[in-house]
Amino acid sequence: MNFLGAFLFAGFFCLLAQILLDNTKLTPGHVTSIFTVLGVVLAFFGLYEKFISFAGAGATTIISNFGYMLYKGAYLGFLEDGILGLFSGLLQYSSCAITGAVLFSFVLTLLFKPKD
């Protein structure tokens, strides 16, 4: 059942992204930003954690999870250190994901050559 929930949740987000890309003039960067903000909004209303418990890896591997991590880090930092904690916690919770993205991007650029 976990695989089915993960597939359905991530597949739904992919379907939304493809609909947006096909029927609007939005670029992939716009859609990525929209889904990141959507992750923040869902986290604010307490829905994203429910999605994580339902979909598991389907909810933690898509771009909306990055918005969720930014929100959670900022919120926990704010609770711990006030306004300054809001900014310091913002990247503290999501630094592993950012570092992984930069590292894997670098390694893949070394392995593959772009087409002309």
- pLDDT tens string 50-85: 999 999 888 888 899 999 999 999 999 999 988 888
Confidence category of residue 116, pLDDT binned at 50, 70, 90: low
Residue 31 has pLDDT above 80, yes or no: yes
CA angle 103, 106, 109 (to 5 degrees): 150
Backbone conformation region of residue 115, classed left if phi is above 0, alpha if psi is from -120 to 50, else beta: beta
- d(C-alpha 3, C-alpha 6), whole Å: 5
Domain coverage including residue 101: 2-111
Structurally, the chain folds into a number of domains equal to 1
- In-domain check, residue 33: yes
Higher model confidence: residue 4 or residue 116? 4
- In-domain check, residue 86: yes
- In-domain check, residue 116: no
Confidence category of residue 98, pLDDT binned at 50, 70, 90: confident
- In-domain check, residue 48: yes
- In-domain check, residue 84: yes
- Report helix, strand or coil for 83: helix
Residue 45 has pLDDT above 90, yes or no: yes
- In-domain check, residue 52: yes
